[in-house]
Structure 1
Amino acid sequence: MTKALRISRSFTEIADLIAENEGQIADSFAAAFADGGCEVRLAASDECVSAEMPDPREVQLAIEMMVTTLFDVLRDTRLEPLGERIAWGVVQSFHKVAGGLEGEADHAARKLGDLVRENDGSEVANAGIEEAQTLCHGLDEAVEAMACMRDHAAQMFHAETGHPWSSPRATLTSGKRTASVIAAADFLAARRAKRIEAQAPSGPIVLFSGGQIWEDHARIWGELDAIRARIPAMVLATTAQDKGCDAIAAAWAARSGIKLVTFTLDRRLGKRAGFARNEAMMRLRPVEAVVCEGSGLQSHLARLVRDGGVPAHFIAQDASRTRHRV
């Protein structure tokens, strides 16, 4: 992580960062903890439960207190340097639980799909489908809630440390189709569509790439702020480096609530991996690009951007040499 991002936040600064995005945070929790008003289960062996979801506001405040208290009790003590490690682990714990639940939900969805395909219209088959759908719905609901908690914990980690948290990494043709089968099929289709949007977010793509040695994060954030003002629905695509310009851009995306797509290297391509990554990013048909001074890979991407007629901003280490090509 670059030295520019290792900043100590005061209580007032953290409060301001939270207040700046309070509406968006509240909406996220309200959506993730919405009470569907139906019975669910979180394991095939569990009984169905109809208890309400936790209060969204109370969960939000609990997450904030959990992370900030860690830093508060260690601040100005000899253990202060460990605060970031512990807080990272807190976020990682939410991440692992969410990932485990997501795997269980995918397994349940596959089983539900099998039941739909094999359905013979009998009462027993329909009951099995309804039970499988109840489980799938409960697990998906739990994944949404845990992911929301993880994301907010990650936001608090970012507010405290100044840099973003990141983790180490068929159709029946029979006429016997019943209402429960159709409902289950619709459920699976909606689930697939939601997953696709999460993994391949729609929106105007803005490319970003830069060198690994960079200190002036304010210039990069200012450039990205200006682009976001013009393109509020933008999706930021970076070259996935964990320090320098890409780390600064990732921190900006976390602060701004912008979806981030990271393009890692395909090591199997050897020396050509970086150039292939640039070409893959260009195939996204970006509407704008930011390229900061760096290595030959940044020069290659800059040429692709120019040749493709993409409006671009080329940021040099020396501010007087920064150019805009719109």
Structure 2
Amino acid sequence: MTKETNDRRYTSFADLAKAMGTNPADLRKQYLDKAIADANGEGSDPRPTWMREERKADLAQRKEMEERDRENEIADMMREDTVCDSFHEAFGDVGALSILEIGDAPQELDMPEPAEAQAECHAIVTTIFDLFRDTRLEPSAQAIAWGIVNSFHYEAQKLANEEDRLSGELQDMARRPDPSEIYATELEDLQLRAQTKLEQRSAIECMRDYAADCYRSQTGRPWSAARGSKVSSVTTASQIASADFLKARATALREKRNPTGPIVVFSGGQEWHDFQQLYARLDQIKARIPSMTLCTTGQRKGCDAIAAAWAANNGVPLVAFVPNSNRYGKSAGFRRNEQLLNLNPVEAIVCQGTGIQLNLLEELKRKNVPTHAFPISGQAPIAADTKRQAWG
């Protein structure tokens, strides 16, 4: 018979926690709380005050990271249990048959499960950030994730072009009716191919928009396409290239590529930190003009990026007018200003930047467009934490 002693050894932190009637997360919280109390001088820590202050800051940061990890864990659990309606619509509401390529026979091919599609789409984007975080590769995470979303966008555009082509052929055949059996078979196959492309495009657009939301949650910035239009029924803020917007405005071929709301122009410099005052003014304008369409000067940082983030959060259509430097050279910015003025905007916001913003401000005033001008000196002081991040 072996004599029982008080020397009980544990091979893992989890076993020790179980024996103490708690769990590892609670133990870590208790440890951090006690350490913070010691750093505040509430315990018996004999170290000098300056050492306790450094320890206090370090422990507070660790506690914040623990809480953030727990929040992310809860969010992941909720996400696993909740599938967006857009995935149910795009992946669940499809026809029984499909034709993938010309000459193929109709096949019964299923779509991926909506829950699996959403989960894998989330994993594709967020895994890059999780893998690179706190390593020397972290600066590359945003660029790679942007490319992933852009790959969905490129494929959606390609499918949309094929869908348009097949729909045109279908319309041509419908104009030339033929009583023969061959004609009926070809018409049915063409219609099924067009329907298949529509279903493929809807699914890829759904994944693109969800991946863009994941990109925004990780970076704090809205995703925008390098070129072309990003338009779908489930997007929160349509990023529409100016060429597509102007063409659709003239021809009115597609309503969703042609925002019909009153135009509000927004422009500003690339150096700007006080987003609260811009958000507040945009909120006021949207309260007066609920159906507004926001047109920016298309810069990827500074004021235009702030406006893009606001539009994404508030479901406002956004049109990014990027200057055509290849065609107009140094005068491209001023040509772009002319395009904005020709839209007959009902209101405008201009933040101090370069001579291009000054020119736009003067032209808006000349056309008697109500304009809100924000000088650089009118910004709120930059927060201390932001300064430290900027200084590294």
Normalization by structure 1: what TM-score? 0.74
Work out which of the residue numbers 373, 376, 379 in structure 2 matches 1:314: 373
Instruction: Extract unaligned runs of 5+ from structure 2.
Output: 1-64, 77-82, 228-250, 381-392
Match of 1:84 in 2: 142
Matching of residues 240-255 of structure 1 within 5 Å: 240-255=298-313
| Higher Cα Rg, which structure | 2
Query: SS in structure 1 opposite 2:376?
Result: coil
Match of 2:223 in 1: 165
Match of 2:106 in 1: 48
In the alignment, structure 1 residue 150 sits paired with structure 2 residue 150? no
Q: Cα deviations across residues 216-274 of structure 1 (Å, max 9, x unaligned)?
A: 33332333233334433322111112332222222332333322112122343445433
Match of 1:98 in 2: 156
User: Quick check: 267-276 or 89-98, which moved more?
Assistant: 267-276
Superposition RMSD in Å: 3.3
Whether the aligned pair in 2 keeps the contact of 1:155 and 1:254 (CA below 8 Å) is no
Match of 2:171 in 1: 113
Match of 1:3 in 2: none
Query: SS in structure 1 opposite 2:353?
Result: coil
Q: 1:314 is aligned with what amino acid?
A: A
Whether the aligned pair in 2 keeps the contact of 1:275 and 1:300 (CA below 8 Å) is yes
Work out which of the residue numbers 296, 299, 303 in structure 1 matches 2:355: 296
Q: 2:300 is aligned with what amino acid?
A: D
Query: SS in structure 2 opposite 1:40?
Result: coil
Q: 1:224 is aligned with what amino acid?
A: L
Whether the aligned pair in 2 keeps the contact of 1:240 and 1:264 (CA below 8 Å) is yes
Match of 1:183 in 2: none
CA–CA separation in structure 2 for the residues paired with 1:32 and 1:230: 34
Q: Cα deviations across residues 86-141 of structure 1 (Å, max 9, x unaligned)?
A: 32232122122212222322332232233234433433223322221211121122
Shift of 1:284: 2.2
Whether the aligned pair in 1 keeps the contact of 2:88 and 2:114 (CA below 8 Å) is yes
User: Quick check: 279-288 or 137-146, which moved more?
Assistant: 279-288
Q: 2:173 is aligned with what amino acid?
A: L
Q: 1:66 is aligned with what amino acid?
A: I
Match of 1:215 in 2: 273
Matching of residues 195-274 of structure 1 within 5 Å: 196-267=254-325, 268-274=327-333
Instruction: Extract unaligned runs of 5+ from structure 1.
Output: 1-7, 19-24, 170-192, 322-326
What is the number of residues matched between the two proteins? 284
Q: 1:290 is aligned with what amino acid?
A: I
Whether the aligned pair in 1 keeps the contact of 2:212 and 2:223 (CA below 8 Å) is yes
Which structure's relative contact order is higher, taking Cα pairs within 8 Å and 6+ residues apart?
1
